[in-house]
Chains A and B, each alone.
Chain A
C-alpha cells in the first residue's frame, strides 16, 4: 500500500470511535467521506477531479440548551435506499445519502438514564433488509423499520441485553453459516451480543466481556472480529461464541475496524498511530480460522480514530486522525 493524495476536510476530526464513514457510489469513481468534528459532520465528495464539501450540524434538543455533540455517523446501505445516520447526545438524525434532506429525527429519552450518566446514541448498522439498528448510552439498541421510500420510519423494537453504553454495531457482510446470526452489538464492558434480525430480533448468543471495552466490531462469514481498548483484536465464532484467534495488534486503544467482504481483509486503526491490514480466512476442510498480518502503516504523530476500506476487495483504504484536517488515503 502506498500513500495516495489526501482528501481535505473543512474541519479536523474528533477522537471518537469509528470516526470515518465511506460511501462508494456504485461503479462510479465518486467516493463520499464523512468525519465528525464536535457538533457537526464534515462530508466530502471526491470524484477524481475535485472535492465538494458539506457540513451537517447536530440537531439541538427541544430545550435548545447547549451544543449537541455528535458521536458517530454512518451510511446504511439497504436494498431499497441508502440513508446517512448521525448519532448525538440528543438523538438520532437520518438523512438521504447525500445529506440534503433530513428524513427522520428521534430524540433520546433522557428520563431513562440515571442522573450522573452521559446520554448519547452510538453504534449504527443496517440489518435484515429493512432495519437500521442504533445503540444508546444506556445499553439499549433501537431497531428502526425503514420503508423503501419516504419518511415513515418507526421504532420496531428496543433490544435490552446490554447494561453499558453501546460502542458499535455490525451486520453480516458476507454469507452467514447456519445459526451464525445477522447482527452483532458491542458495549463498553466488552460484552458482545449476536442477533438474528427480523420483525422480532432474536438473541442467539452472548459473548461475555473479558475485562476490556470493545470499541469496534465486524461480522463476516460467521466470524466476529472485535477490537478492544487494550489493543487486542479477537476473532469469535458468531454461532458458538468460541474464541478462535487473539492478536496483540496495537499498543493502545483500538478505535476502528473495517472489513473488505470480498477478500476477508481486516483493517485496524488505533491511538498508537498505527494502521494494520490483516487477512482473515477460514479453511473449509479443517474449519480453522486464520488471521495473518499483511501490512503496517504508521501515521506519524496522529491518533487514528477512523479507518475504512474504500472498495470491497480492500485494495484501498482511508483514515482519519484526531486534530487532523484531512483524510489520508492509501492504495495498492
Chain B
C-alpha cells in the first residue's frame, strides 16, 4: 500500500541483524594474541561489522532504496539480507541464516506492534542508526554514509502526516502477518507468550499527543463545556514524560529499536536443543554422527581460503546456534527446507589440497569422525577434490 515503507523495513531489519551478529561475534571472539587461525578475534569482528555496514549504506544502494516503491516480497528481501550478511569474510550456513532472519523479523515486528504512535517508527529507525554509528565509531568514512542516510530519512519522512505513517505501519504489519516464531529472549522477558504472540501491555505512558483515557466532556450549543464525567477503563495508563527527538542527534526517549542483546543474554530461538552451555566454536561435544559431516564441511571452507599467516583472510563461519549440532538439527527439522545445504564454499583450491587437509586435520581440536560416518566423509572429500 504505502510506497515509502521499504527504507524503514530495510534499515530496521538491518539494524537488528547487526545487533545479533555483533553479539554472536563477541560471544565467540578470542583475544588477538591467543587466537588460533580459525578463531574470531576482536579485529575480525570489527572488520565484519564495518564491511557489512559499508555495504548497507552504499550510496547507490540507498538511492534505489528510497525511491517510492512497493515492498519486496519476503523471499526477495531475504535474498538481499543473504547477500548483505556475506558482504564480509563471515559465512553463514542456511540454518544460521534462517535463524538470523527469523530473529530479525520477529524483533522488528515486535517494535512495529508496540510502537506508541505510527510516527514513532521513525524514532525506532533512529535508534537503530544511532547504534550503528556506535559500531563504526573508529571508521569516520563509513560514519559519513550513515549520516547521509539519516539526512535522507529526515528529508523523506519528517513531513508525513500521522495518517500516512499509520499506512506505512499497516503495510509493515501485512508483511509481518502470521509470523509467530518464538524467540528465547522475548519469552524470558515475558514480552512474548508461549504461543508466539506478543504481550501488549495495557499500562504505562500513553503515546505523545494522546490523553489518558477516562474523561467525558459535554458541550452545549455555544461550545461551552457543561459537564465532565469520568469512567474507569481497566488499564493503568499515565501521561507521557516527553517526546523523542527527530533530529540528527538527540534523546529518542523510546527504547524500542535499541540493542537488547548482550554477552549475558544470548541469541537463541526456542527451538534450540537441550545443550545449555555456550560452547565456544573450537571445542566440540563428543556426540555421534551428526557432527562429522558438519566438521568436514567446515574444513572444506577453511581449506578453500586458508592462508597460514593471515587467519582473517579466510571465510569464517559464524554459527547462530549454541553448538554445531543444534545448527544441524535446526536445518534438518526446519519445515520448508528440503535438505541441509552447503553454501558459499570458498572455492579456491590450493595446490596439493589433499595434503593440506590432512595437515589441518591433524592440527585442529575437533571431534574425530566416527567410524560409521566414513561413508559420508568420503563423499565430501570427493566433492572437495572436484572443486
Which of A11, A212, A242, A298 contacts B162, CB < 8 Å?
A: A212
> Number of A-B pairs whose CB atoms are under 8 Å?
151
Selecting from B11-19, B92-100, B217-225, B376-384, the interface stretch reads B217-225
| B141 within 8 A of partner (CB) | no
Given known A-B contacts A118-B1, A118-B167, A167-B163, A251 and B199 have beta carbons under 8 A apart: no
Per-position 1/0 for A235-258, Cβ under 8 A of B: 001001011111111111100000
Tell me the nearest residue of chain A to B199, going by C-beta: A301
| B386 within 8 A of partner (CB) | no
Per-position 1/0 for B294-333, Cβ under 8 A of A: 0000000000000000000000000000000000000000
Given known A-B contacts A231-B206, A273-B202, A245 and B177 have beta carbons under 8 A apart: no
A272 to B216, CA, bound (A): 18
Judging by beta carbons under 8 Å apart, are B177 and A37 in contact?
yes
| A69 within 8 A of partner (CB) | yes
A167 to B142, CA, bound (A): 42
Judging by beta carbons under 8 Å apart, are B163 and A213 in contact?
yes
Judging by beta carbons under 8 Å apart, are A12 and B213 in contact?
no
Per-position 1/0 for A289-315, Cβ under 8 A of B: 111110010101111000000000000
Judging by beta carbons under 8 Å apart, are B173 and A229 in contact?
no
- Give B139-170 interface residues, CB cut-off 8 Å to A: 161-164, 166-167, 169-170
Judging by beta carbons under 8 Å apart, are B233 and A89 in contact?
no
Judging by beta carbons under 8 Å apart, are B193 and A301 in contact?
yes
A292 to B178, CA, bound (A): 37
Q: How many Å from the CB of A240 to the closest CB on chain B? A: 8
Judging by beta carbons under 8 Å apart, are A253 and B221 in contact?
no
Q: How many Å from the CB of B121 to the closest CB on chain A? A: 13
DSSP majority for the B interface? loop
Judging by beta carbons under 8 Å apart, are A272 and B235 in contact?
yes
**In the complex, what residues of A have CB within 8 A of residue B180's CB?**
323
| B209 within 8 A of partner (CB) | yes
Judging by beta carbons under 8 Å apart, are B235 and A14 in contact?
no
Which of A14, A118, A246, A298 contacts B173, CB < 8 Å?
A: A14
| B249 within 8 A of partner (CB) | no
Judging by beta carbons under 8 Å apart, are A188 and B163 in contact?
yes
| B contact residues, range | 35 or more
A120 to B174, CA, bound (A): 15
Per-position 1/0 for A174-213, Cβ under 8 A of B: 0000000000000111000000000000000000000011
A73 to B178, CA, bound (A): 21
A89 to B1, CA, bound (A): 7
Judging by beta carbons under 8 Å apart, are B235 and A251 in contact?
yes
Per-position 1/0 for A273-298, Cβ under 8 A of B: 11010000000000111111100101
**In the complex, what residues of B have CB within 8 A of residue A237's CB?**
221
A229 to B206, CA, bound (A): 12
| B210 within 8 A of partner (CB) | yes
Judging by beta carbons under 8 Å apart, are B1 and A274 in contact?
no
| A142 within 8 A of partner (CB) | no
| B355 within 8 A of partner (CB) | no
Tell me the nearest residue of chain A to B197, going by C-beta: A301
| A165 within 8 A of partner (CB) | yes
Judging by beta carbons under 8 Å apart, are B161 and A213 in contact?
yes
**In the complex, what residues of A have CB within 8 A of residue B202's CB?**
251, 272-274, 298
A165 to B2, CA, bound (A): 12
Per-position 1/0 for B193-212, Cβ under 8 A of A: 10001111010001101111
Judging by beta carbons under 8 Å apart, are A15 and B162 in contact?
no
**In the complex, what residues of B have CB within 8 A of residue A11's CB?**
178
A12 to B210, CA, bound (A): 28
Judging by beta carbons under 8 Å apart, are B118 and A251 in contact?
no
Which of B166, B211, B218 contacts A229, CB < 8 Å?
A: B166
A301 to B197, CA, bound (A): 7
A289 to B219, CA, bound (A): 8
Tell me the nearest residue of chain B to A291, going by C-beta: B216
Given known A-B contacts A69-B1, A116-B68, A213-B161, A252 and B116 have beta carbons under 8 A apart: yes
Which of A14, A71, A165, A248 contacts B213, CB < 8 Å?
A: A248
Which of A15, A244, A251, A292 contacts B206, CB < 8 Å?
A: A251
Given known A-B contacts A12-B178, A213-B161, A291 and B218 have beta carbons under 8 A apart: yes
**In the complex, what residues of A have CB within 8 A of residue B207's CB?**
230, 251-252
- Give A132-149 interface residues, CB cut-off 8 Å to B: none
Which of A117, A288, A322 contacts B3, CB < 8 Å?
A: A117
- Give A12-29 interface residues, CB cut-off 8 Å to B: 12, 14-16
Given known A-B contacts A14-B177, A251-B235, A298-B234, A230 and B211 have beta carbons under 8 A apart: yes
Q: How many Å from the CB of A221 to the closest CB on chain B? A: 16
| B237 within 8 A of partner (CB) | yes
| A98 within 8 A of partner (CB) | no
Q: How many Å from the CB of A208 to the closest CB on chain B? A: 14
New A-B contacts (10) at CB < 8 Å, excluding given A244-B219, A300-B200: A12-B178, A165-B163, A245-B218, A251-B206, A252-B207, A272-B213, A274-B234, A287-B221, A303-B113, A323-B177
Instruction: Offer 8 A-B interface pairs, CB within 8 angstroms, sorted by A.
Output: A14-B173, A120-B1, A188-B164, A232-B211, A243-B223, A247-B215, A288-B220, A298-B234
B interface residues (Cβ-Cβ under 8 A, vs A): 1-4, 68, 70, 113, 116-118, 161-164, 166-167, 169-170, 173-174, 177-178, 180, 193, 197-200, 202, 206-207, 209-221, 223, 226, 229, 231-235, 237
6 closest A-B pairs (Cβ-Cβ)? A188-B163, A293-B231, A248-B211, A213-B163, A116-B68, A15-B173
